[in-house]
A and B are shown apart, each in its own frame.
Chain A
Amino acid sequence: MDWDQFDLNPKTIAALKKADIKSVKEVLNLSGADLQRLMKLSSADIQCLLKTVSHTLRSNSMLTALQLYQDKDHFTSQHQKLSLGCSVLDNLLKGGIPLVGITELAGESSAGKTQISLQLCLCVQYPYKYGGLESGAVYICTEDVFPSKRLQQLIDQQHKLRADVPAEIIQKIRFGNSIFVEQAADLDTFQQCITSRLSLLLARGMVRLVVIDSMAALFRGDFGPAQAALKARYLQTFGAQLHSLSTRFRTPIMCINQVWNQVASYSVSYFLYRVEGSRVIPALGITWSNQLLMRLMVSRVSPGAASHCAGSRRTLSVVFAPHLPPSFCYYTVQLEGVKGIK
């Protein structure tokens, strides 16, 4: 850290170098009294140092809510969301998936989670005007193999799903080229994937959607009740890393999650979840729930039907979101994709 470039008293700079303090973070991690002792300066000097260092970290960081509201820029505006490709579903979410934060899609198996995620991977590639982000997607599989056949079906039928987009625009998009599939079956591989592969793709601007299918699969088997603390630490670390990537690159992270059957005597869940006749709660507990911006749940209205069975109604509901009331809508899974029912 080049302390000379800071607007500090030369005496303070010399003291910093002598005390071997190498970064702004170190300065802020030490208390005022510790800094005084280490650098042998008076408290007024230390206050001045702390203020100067804080200024460099936080210059130009204030916005008023009015500025946020009036921001129309594609990249920074809060109004910009990732469309789901269907106006009914977008209306439920007041535009689509928010660009910053982790959104969870939880539900029983074959309720339609993968279908919605695949659809998002295609939607993200459309121009801003049509609710996309003009970029690709990363799909991280942790257990099942990636459904490439279904993806191809969806690509072939895009013109049918997206009747709102002119055909020549759809034809120009090379959908398959911009979806990067990663396999990560265990925690270490997953960690590796997030910290190196994902950051690289995001930094190069090649993707603006990350789908993780699914988080719960990473924690099955190895984690019994005795490893609860370790599991919590992993979840918090992953959550923080994903959150940080999402904020830095303004990229939505969609995490697919499984559900557990609700045990009636599990007192914690009563404190934690609204119980409205649903028999299932999302997996991974409160530690994971704390990392989320928004939680969506999908379920089958008529149990037992196959995933692609046209006509079987599903429900997409908003469990919590800072900008949405708890609400739901119905949808079906057609050949061309997921479509809401008005």
Chain B
Amino acid sequence: MQREVGTLPLAPALRARLAAAGFQTAQELLDTGPCGLSKEIGISREEALEALQVVRQECHGDAARTAGGSGATRKCTALELLEEEQTQGFIITFCSALDNILGGGVQLTKITEICGAPGVGKTQLCMQLAVDVQIPECFGGVAGEAVFIDTEGSFMVDRVVDIAAACVQHCHLIAEAQQEEDLRKALETFSLENILSHIYYFRCRDYTELLAQVYLLPEFLSEHSKVRLVVIDGIAFPFRHDFEDLSLRTRLLNGLAQQLIIIANDHKSAVVLTNQMTTRIGQSQSTLVPALGESWGHAATVRLIFHWDNSQRLATLYKSPSQKESTIAYHITSQGFRDVQPPAVTHSTEGTELNPRKRPRTEEEKQ
């Protein structure tokens, strides 16, 4: 009730008039009533009625929110935030080197950007994550679902099938080796069809469709509350042509970034974007830098750059609030995104030809 007039969701012109007339809190507006209001600031009675309706709704909403305990302006201490962040889930990538430099994997509630030249493995990682987000909790996953927004048409479902089949196989091996009942039960619902049916695919053909899709995402995520990953592959493609006015592009990208940050936070999801590389012509030589300009560099919390060194693929953690900059090597196999050398096997996995990898995270979880 003591809400300031400036914070109410009214038309800016109306707010300006109210401020000029000396109204400061919502309570004053409600006390004045529609007739008084229309006389004071010179608007029609209908407009005054509408404005008061909005104010009343807001105040009701505020009361409900503060009673519920979680609102738009929630206060908490840094210690609470730390505890929350430590229990935050990570989506593993199946490449333990990459998981390590990221601090555990792709973090929920943060935006991770993957930049790289064509063919280096950005889409492969996105497809891997769309499968890995669904790994049951008893195997160290977050048991979520995935939204995949494709702007380039590079989502090939046959490849996702290979990756998903390998992931299921891997979990089966762990379950057999560990002989635990809850692992086996979890695998009953972790099948290929199940995994595929929980990847929600959207194809956007230009930036207008992409903008519209992101406006609709919060509603979709509320309906599908198990979604823990939103992938946009790639964010650069629709924005790198067709723009005579670069300031419009910057504004649209900033708006998009803001919406994605809100989505990541509100729905406890990881947002993963892929970006292209472009040449920056310097004094003596050219370098490759991520596309979309300098200001876009601030949009993502975590930035990975994938590149080549002869025929070895490398991933560099370029920007992260909590991890240091480092480079690791990775492989793309028929099973998906993997480490370069399989680490030592700690328990027998029945002499299988498949990747007999130790899964350090799940071992820790079991202990």
The interface of chain A, by Cβ under 8 A from chain B, is 24-25, 28-29, 31, 36-37, 40-44, 50-51, 53-55, 57-58, 61-66, 68-69, 78-79, 94, 98, 100-101, 228, 233, 236-237, 239-240, 243-244, 246-248, 267-268, 270-276, 285-287, 289-290, 292-293, 295, 319-323, 325
Nearest CB in chain B: distance from A17 CB, A: 17
Q: Could you say which residues of chain A place their CB within 8 Å of the CB of B201?
A: 62-65, 68
Max count, chain B CB within 10 A of own CB: residue among A24, A31, A286: A286
Contacts of B285 in A (CB 8 A): 267
Q: Which of B11, B123, B209, B287 contacts A36 (CB 8 A)?
A: B11
Q: Taking the nearest CB of chain A, how far is it from the CB of B197, in angstroms? A: 4
Q: A65-B160, A65-B199 known; 5 other A-B pairs, CB under 8 Å?
A: A28-B211, A42-B9, A57-B208, A94-B158, A287-B278
Please tell me if B161 contacts chain A, counting CB pairs below 8 Å: yes
Instruction: Determine whether the beta carbon of A58 is less than 8 Å from that of B118.
Output: no
A-B contact count (CB 8 A): 181
Contacts of B123 in A (CB 8 A): 322
Question: What is the minimal beta-carbon distance from B193 to any residue of chain A, in angstroms?
Answer: 6
From A98, A246, A322, name the one whose CB has the most chain B CB atoms within 10 angstroms: A322
Given contacts A31-B251, A42-B9, A272-B308, contact A69 B161 (CB under 8 A): yes
Give the distance to chain A from B233, nearest Cβ to Cβ, in Å: 10
Interface residues as binary, B260-279 with A (CB distance below 8 Å gives 1, 0 otherwise): 00000000000000001111
Asked whether B308 lies within 8 Å of A273 as measured between CB atoms, the reply is yes
Contacts of B332 in A (CB 8 A): 325
A contacts with B: majority SS: helix
Residues of chain A lying within 8 A (CB to CB) of residue B199: 64-66
Write the B226-255 contact mask toward A (1 if CB under 8 angstroms, else 0): 000000000011001110000010011001
Bound-state Cα–Cα, A322 to B160, Å: 10
Using known A-B contacts A42-B9, A274-B311, determine if residue A51 contacts B158 with beta carbons closer than 8 Å. no
- The answer for the CA separation of A159 and B311 in the assembled complex, in Å, is 42
Determine the chain A residues whose CB is within 8 A of the CB of B119 once the complex forms. 289, 295, 319-321
Shortest C-beta distance, A73 to chain B (Å), equals 14
**Interface size, chain B (Cβ < 8 Å):** 69
Instruction: Report the separation of the CA atoms of residues A24 and B213 in the bound assembly, to the nearest whole angstrom.
Output: 13
13 contacts between A and B (CB under 8 A): A28-B208, A29-B208, A42-B9, A62-B202, A65-B130, A69-B157, A78-B157, A268-B287, A271-B307, A274-B310, A276-B310, A290-B276, A321-B119
Beta-carbon nearest neighbor of B251 in chain A: A31
List chain B residues, Cβ under 8 A from A44: 9, 54
B141-180 interface with A by 8 A CB criterion: 148, 152-161
Q: What CA separation (Å) do A57 and B287 show in the bound complex?
A: 39
For the complex formed, measure the closest distance between the CB of A77 and the CB atoms of chain B, giving whole angstroms: 10
1/0 contact string of B71-82 vs chain A (CB within 8 Å)? 000000000000
Minimal beta-carbon separation of A99 from chain B (angstroms)? 10
Among all A-B residue pairs, the 7 with the closest Cβ atoms: A320-B119, A323-B156, A54-B212, A66-B196, A65-B199, A66-B197, A65-B196
B152 neighbours in A (Cβ, 8 Å): 101, 243, 293
Q: Which B residues touch A293, using CB under 8 A?
A: 152-154
In the complex, the chain A residue whose C-beta lies closest to that of B208 is A25
Q: Which of B78-103 contact A (CB under 8 A)?
A: none
Q: For A36, what are the chain B residues with a Cβ–Cβ distance below 8 Å? A: 11-12
With the chains together, A267 CA to B288 CA distance in Å? 10
